[in-house]
Amino acid sequence: MQLEDYFDFQRPDDIRLKGTRVGIETILYDFIHRAQTPEEISQSYPSVTLEQVYATILYYLHNKEAVSAYIADWLEWSHRMQEEQRRNPPPVVIKLRKMIAERDAMKKTEDNDSQISAG
């Protein structure tokens, strides 16, 4: 088996572990940035085997420059999407924020009322 056989190269910016929806960026982020062991990573993703985790790490080590660029692009895209969602939240998020604000305002009013009646 070749190392590349572990992966599904969907697009240049989308490499997934074969048979899963997990991208190599997910595994490598946990390994590089969160300093998780391969065993910890494989336990976090039930659809991923320990062998696939090791294959991903080995693929990274053999293609460090290209995979590092891939991860940097993914992180940049991820940050852009988070900022976009922060600036333009989906309607359901707006509704939830409104409900939380109303609940908090009601709780604050109730707390003030109970302080006044206790005073």
Q: What is the pLDDT of residues 48-60, one digit of tens each?
A: 999 999 999 999 9
Residues 57, 98, single domain; the answer is no
Residues 58, 34, single domain; the answer is yes
Half-sphere exposure of 4 (CA within 13 A, CB side): 3
Residues 15, 73, single domain; the answer is yes
Mean pLDDT, to the nearest integer, of 22-46?
Answer: 95
75-92 residue pLDDT tens:
888 888 889 888 888 889
Domain span holding position 65: 3-88
Task: Give the per-residue pLDDT at 108.
Answer: 82
Task: Give the per-residue pLDDT at 110.
Answer: 78
Residues 83, 95, single domain; the answer is no
Distance of alpha carbon 14 from alpha carbon 74, whole angstroms = 9
Per the structure, how many domains does the chain have? 2
Residues 73, 114, single domain; the answer is no
Other Cβ atoms closer than 10 A to 27 = 26
